[in-house]
Structures are given as structure tokens and as C-alpha cells.
Structure 1
Amino acid sequence: MKYTALLALPLLAAAAPASERSTNPNFSVMSVRSASPIHYLQMNAAGQKFYLGGETASYCPTQVTHCPPGNETVFTPGGGSLDVNVPGGQQVYIDPHGALSFTQAHSANIPAGSAVGPFKYSPDEPWAHYSFNGWGASGFMACPTDDQRWQVFAAINNATVPKGDVDECLGFSALAIDYDGDVPAWQYI
């Protein structure tokens, strides 16, 4: 997705008041934290985790005749799973280390000690938001990685983050951008 399109997304999402938008749509997520390196970055699924920056990682079997593009990450209504075609779907959860994660395709296996919510989609005026408030979290935070991406975690003090220092992480508002297109991916990997 081009950067100009990313900057226009919040304007498009706000074009219709929340009262006119669906209260339970599929959505993608964009981070907002002014004057920071994560401002306006898209949230992407990759390696069974979520990142700000980088690219969405997806897969489609060769026997599928009409594969979705698989180049954007979209959540189903409420944010508890991903919008995919793969049988059984892919559930979203917070792993025991605090990382926002998703299940492998064809598996409902979630590590012991994980949280499957509460995830919340809030159709607030003028922007809709996505959040996690389990474990005393105040939403999400993004933590720097060695590959120039920012891994997404529940905003908790005891998260096990990539560089080992939670103080390097940045809390952010997760804007939920309504998505009404076709299913965007067969499965995320």
C-alpha cells in the first residue's frame, strides 16, 4: 500500500459518522502516535505475530483457483479472529509473553497461559478503535525489533519484548479502518 493511501485512510474512515458506519465491521488497523516512528503505520500479520511496518505474510495453496491477494491484514468483527478463507479460520490471542498473536491455519492450538480477549471494537466518534484490556492492559504497545519493524504487544509492564526493555515500547491508538472488500487472504503465515 502506498504511503499516500495510508495517510488518506483516516480521512476515508471518518467520512461517515460512526452512527452511519456498521457497528461490527471487518477492519484493518493503523497505529496513531503523533511525532513517533509508528505514526500511521499499518498493522500486519506475519510469523503468527503482528507488526507495525513491514509486510503482511500470507499463503494460498496452488490448488486454489482464485487466491485472494493476501497483501493486507484484516480482522473479523470484534477483532477476535482474522478475515481468511482457510477452513477453521485463524483466531487472535495474546500469548503468555504479551505478544498479539494468531493461530496457525488448520489449528486451534493456543499456548497455555494465553488470553483470547477481551478484544474490543469501539465505533467511537470520529474514529473507531481496536483494543485489548485483559491483564490490566491499557490497549496495545509497539516494541522495536532488530529488523526495523515494531512488534505489537498488550500494553503491560511485564511483557517479554524483542529487545528486552519495555521502556523502549510505545503505546499507541489502534484505529480500526472499516473494510468491506472481498476476503483479503487465504491464510496468514
Structure 2
Amino acid sequence: MAWLPLLLATMLGHGSGAPAALKTCGQSLYDATEYICHADNFLCRITAGEPLSVCGGACYSTFQYACSPGGTLALLPAATAAPFTLAVSNPSLPALHGQPVSAAGGLRWAVGGPTASYCPASVVGPDACPPGNATAVLLAADGRAAMAVVVPGGQEVYLAPDWSVGYTQAHSAGMPAGSVVGGFGAYVGGGFVNLNGDGWGWVACAPPPGAADDARWRLVGRNATSAAALAGCAPVNLKVVPFNSSSVGAWQYT
């Protein structure tokens, strides 16, 4: 009767009409919008639109892990050798799925839209200015992330006190009091993950009512501290995309 708690949880979550929608996986009943059945006998959750894979009796995300032929889980290689860009992933949200993560202006990350960047061409010469039309990121081995820029001192990525993703102003290390730096992971062929505060991944939050027409969805780190406040936001993964244009994305992001 090990399947009974899962059945009860599914019924409670969907009301009296739920039993007709349940499917069978081995001896368990499950909701196919929340779980995937492997080999007709092993259930894994669907998280942020990703049906988790199974390896050696454990469910795992392909954004962070790989399964060896012998059934052993291992972390994907760390993406610390070169800059990369990010793309939002959640196939159940077609308006967001595949959209790039952009430096949206105001020193914050958002979903889609143009990249906000600047280069002092009159000072350094136009030939020294990178294109500045893509948002590129670097990850250090210690889990700290930064924007891939030319400007001296760089621009560090942080999680603000409300757990939204921001980056420092050029020529300044200042950030809101209580912000968190580090605790990130990025994996070749995988994703950019949030490991802070018992990290539960990322969510995209819609612009508030009355926002400007060009307002974009903002990216926020979801964890044990912020989960309740972010219940109305959409869970997403952030896919690491190789950045081949140059070693930097912009002179600086704004």
C-alpha cells in the first residue's frame, strides 16, 4: 500500500473529479501532469516543466546531473572555462520557454527583450566595444558569478534581499544590504542553478498590474525562505548556452 499516500495527495490536490484522470504506474496511481512513470514502475516528479529522469533508483535533473551506463549519478562538468548565456526552460510555458535571460536595465535580470549595455566609444574607440547585444555570464570555481564584461572591476551577480537576480553597477561593488553572493552552479550541457537557502531553483514572476508596456518577467531565486511569497510565480530552469561571440558580452551592463 505504499502508493496510498501518493493517491491521497493527488486526490486532495485535484478534488472529487481527480480519479478519472489518474494513470497507473506499477501498483501506484499518479497524476500525469505532476509525475512521469519510468519503465512502468518508477515515478519521478515533473519540476519546472522537466520530467525528472531516473538513475540507479533515484530521480534526477539533467540540468545538473548525468547517469553513467552503470547507473551511477555524477555532476555534469562545471561551466567555469568560458562565458555562457542563459535561456529559460519550461516547455509547459510556451511564452517563456526558450527566451533568453537578459540584462534588462536597472541592474537586474529579466526574461527576453533587448540587452541593456553601454560602451564609452568616445573614450576607448568603437573598435574596443563588444557588440553588447547578448547577456553573457561567467562562473568562478567558488560559486560566485559575474557578468562577462570589459569594464575594470567587473560586475558581480547577486541575489537581492527579495531573492531577485541583480548585478553590481560598473566601477562599484555596492549592492543592497542583505544581498547574497555566490552559491551558484553552472554545468556544461546543463543549467545554471541556485544553491542558496536550500535552493529550489528559479521562478519567473510576471510584471505587476499597471507596469509599463515593455515590462518583463523578472527572475527570482526560490528557496525555503522565499517559496511561500513566490507561490504565484512560474517555476523555470535556466539552461546554459555556449557563448561563442567573444570572451565578453559587453563593455558593461546597465
TM-score by length of 1: 0.78
Once the two structures are overlaid, the 10-residue window that deviates more, 143-152 or 66-75, is 143-152
Q: Tell me the secondary structure at the aligned position of residue 91 of structure 1.
A: strand
CA distance in 2, matches of 1:19, 1:113: 31
Q: Percent identity?
A: 33
Listed one character per residue, the Cα deviations across residues 40-69 of structure 1 (whole Å, up to 9, x for unaligned) are 010001210000112110011121212111
Q: 2:111 aligns with which of 42, 48, 52?
A: 52
Indicate the residue corresponding to 1:11 in structure 2.
none
Q: Tell me the secondary structure at the aligned position of residue 101 of structure 1.
A: strand
Residue correspondence of structure 1 range 134-149 to structure 2 within 5 A: 134-145=196-207, 146=211, 147-149=214-216
Distance 1:166 1:120, change over 3 A: same
Contact 2:102 2:114 in 1 (8 A): yes
Indicate the residue corresponding to 1:96 in structure 2.
161
Matched, 1:64 2:124: yes
Q: After TM superposition, give the deviation of residue 157 of structure 1 in Å.
A: 6.5
Matched, 1:180 2:180: no
Q: Tell me the secondary structure at the aligned position of residue 134 of structure 1.
A: coil
Residue correspondence of structure 1 range 113-124 to structure 2 within 5 A: 113-123=178-188
Indicate the residue corresponding to 1:5 in structure 2.
none
Contact 1:99 1:159 in 2 (8 A): no
RMSD: 2.4
Gaps of 5+ in 2: 1-74
Q: After TM superposition, give the deviation of residue 77 of structure 1 in Å.
A: 3.2
Matched, 1:108 2:108: no
Q: Tell me the secondary structure at the aligned position of residue 124 of structure 2.
A: coil
Q: After TM superposition, give the deviation of residue 90 of structure 1 in Å.
A: 0.3
Listed one character per residue, the Cα deviations across residues 109-159 of structure 1 (whole Å, up to 9, x for unaligned) are 122211102011123xxx321011102221211101134521001013655
Matched, 1:26 2:83: yes
CA distance in 1, matches of 2:145, 2:230: 25
CA distance in 2, matches of 1:42, 1:95: 21
Query: How many residue pairs align between the two structures?
Result: 165
Q: Which has the larger radius of gyration?
A: 2
TM-score by length of 2: 0.59
Gaps of 5+ in 1: 1-17
Q: Tell me the secondary structure at the aligned position of residue 76 of structure 1.
A: strand
Indicate the residue corresponding to 1:40 in structure 2.
98
CA distance in 2, matches of 1:30, 1:23: 17
Q: 1:83 aligns with which of 148, 161, 164?
A: 148
Contact 1:117 1:132 in 2 (8 A): no
CA distance in 1, matches of 2:172, 2:137: 18
Contact 2:103 2:253 in 1 (8 A): yes
Indicate the residue corresponding to 1:4 in structure 2.
none
The one of the two structures with greater contact order (alpha-carbon pairs below 8 A, sep at least 6) is 1
Indicate the residue corresponding to 2:230 in structure 1.
166
Q: Tell me the secondary structure at the aligned position of residue 231 of structure 2.
A: helix
Q: After TM superposition, give the deviation of residue 20 of structure 1 in Å.
A: 9.7
Q: After TM superposition, give the deviation of residue 172 of structure 1 in Å.
A: 0.9
Indicate the residue corresponding to 1:155 in structure 2.
222
